[in-house]
Chain A
Amino acid sequence: MTSTGKSPWLIHYDAASCNGCDIEVLACLTPMYDIERFGIINTGNPKHADLFLVTGSVNEQNINVVRQIYEQMPDPKVVIACGICACTGGVFRDCYNIYGGVDSAIPVDVYAPGCAIRPEAIIDAVVVGLGILEERRAALDAGAALDAGAALDPKEA
């Protein structure tokens, strides 16, 4: 594993959700789960982050926010949809203002379902995400242009 996989810093954005998954993400930081074991830091700043953890579904108000945070993360980067709302829109998917899951705004790499998602599932999703992050870094180091659309490729997802 390269340094990229050993030091994944994350930014967490809570979109339209009931905040259940939001709390579970924070639970990961507690001594019980201690994700800093994996070198993870919760940065709160897209420019420092490698992992983008989104909880909740995407609506009219936050679609641009999700997009802008994603844009402001330097490559290599990975998006993880945490919880069923982030994956598909969940119970909110038929609301008038909801677009759907996070993938209706930006390409998602890892889908981690659950209502609310369990911290173990989040950690598992992050570990899967690290693999993708490593691939991206290898591609970036090789000088290949990163095609954001490639993330939507079903084979990779």
Chain B
Amino acid sequence: MSVASFIISLFGFTILAPLAGGLLAGIDRKVTARLQSRVGPPLLQPFYDVAKLWHKERWTVNNYQGFYVLMSLVFAIIAGVIFFAGGNFLLVVFILTLSTLLFVLAAYSTRSPFAEMGAEREIVQVMSYEPMVIIMSVTYYLAVGSFNTNAVLTLGRPIITYLPLVFIGLLFILTIKFRKSPFDLSYSHHAHQELVKGISTEMSGRTLALVEVTHWYENILFLGWVGIFFVWGSWLAVLLTVVALVVVYFLEIFIDNNFARVKWSAMLKWAWLVTIVCAVVNMASLNWSWLG
């Protein structure tokens, strides 16, 4: 991670990611509506939502909630900047976890029964996806020989060819990270909520706007994780990556629209099972191919 790439990423990610993320959310809602034979909201609807929230009355239930949410956004941005600057993959994962923790703390700080329930569910979600995320970054290292994300640019072929199973595991847990059904336990974008609005129940106005923006940043970062599997040192990579991202995101929307929410135990069980199978088989094969 050089200083130049850091500065480019700092401005590029900070400014472009929310634009792309908001647009992605708009496309998401439009596609979802079409899948349900509806017209759906305008493409720019997510931007209208955030702008509206920004102009709502500024209420808080305590001093701290807004602060935690703001810090959560800041660390999500830092994680993204490091990722797109070609920095250390594990560092990105750890900082993103910090961002998630701060979001959880925001909910806890309210002592609202609904928000706390959402926070507990969020923690179980983290526990479900975290092993796969860690294993993904370690297998990335095993395949590439470096934790730095810019190392893929020197490869002769994309790492999906080394890590096909890890990629499938990543897709599985991305459903949790994108907050899509069947794993949208703590917070979801769908109309009707089981527990009011889960983790964000007590957030309103600007605080909620920041939460939305944080999701946009996060979603772009996750797409970056998907994209890195298809990048190698060739211009063809751009084409392949774009196709892969479109397919993956459509797949997530498709899954979202075709599954009902499951209980936490099912989520945990399936996420861990998929992680173990994908991780172990892929890592073992990687190691053998090294030896051989």
Contact = CB atoms under 8 A, between A and B. Distances in A.
Direct contact of A and B (CB under 8 A): yes
Contacts of A75: 56-57
Contacts of A141: 55
Given A31-B36, A39-B42, A141-B55, A7 B192 contact: no
A47 B57 contact: no
A57 to B, nearest CB: 24
Contacts of B204: 47-48, 74
B149 to A, nearest CB: 36
Contacts of B201: 45, 47
Interface in A31-51: 31, 34, 36-39, 41-45, 47-48, 50
A140 B55 contact: yes
Contact of A34 (B40, B45, B52): B40
Contacts of B42: 6, 39
B57 A37 contact: no
Interface string B45-62: 101110110011111000
Contacts of B197: 43-45, 48
Nearest to B33: A36
Given A29-B191, A36-B38, A48 B208 contact: yes
Given A7-B49, A47-B204, A36 B41 contact: yes
A127 to B, nearest CB: 15
A7 B36 CA distance: 21
A76 interface: yes
B55 A36 contact: no
A59 interface: no
A43 B190 CA distance: 9
Nearest to A47: B204
Given A37-B40, A45-B197, A74 B57 contact: yes
A44 B55 contact: no
Interface string B191-216: 11100110011111100100000000
B57 A36 contact: no
A126 to B, nearest CB: 14
Interface in B1-49: 29, 33, 36-42, 45, 47-49
A141 B55 CA distance: 7
B205 A36 contact: no
Interface string A75-99: 1100000000000000000000000
A137 B29 CA distance: 26
- Which of A3, A42, A75 has the most B CB atoms < 10 Å from its CB? A3
A7 B52 contact: yes
A37 B52 contact: no
B191 A42 contact: yes
A55 interface: no
A4 interface: yes
A40 B192 CA distance: 12
B106 to A, nearest CB: 13
Nearest to B54: A3
Nearest to B204: A47
Contacts of B45: 6-7, 39
A5 to B, nearest CB: 9
B191 A7 contact: no
B86 to A, nearest CB: 36
Interface of A: 2-4, 6-7, 9, 29, 31, 34, 36-39, 41-45, 47-48, 50, 74-76, 137, 140-141
27 contacts: A3-B49, A3-B51, A3-B52, A4-B52, A6-B45, A6-B48, A7-B45, A7-B51, A29-B191, A36-B40, A42-B191, A42-B192, A43-B193, A44-B197, A45-B196, A45-B201, A48-B200, A50-B52, A50-B56, A74-B57, A74-B58, A74-B204, A75-B56, A75-B57, A76-B56, A76-B57, A140-B57
* The 8 nearest A-B residue pairs measured at CB: A3-B51, A74-B57, A47-B204, A6-B48, A75-B57, A7-B52, A3-B52, A7-B48
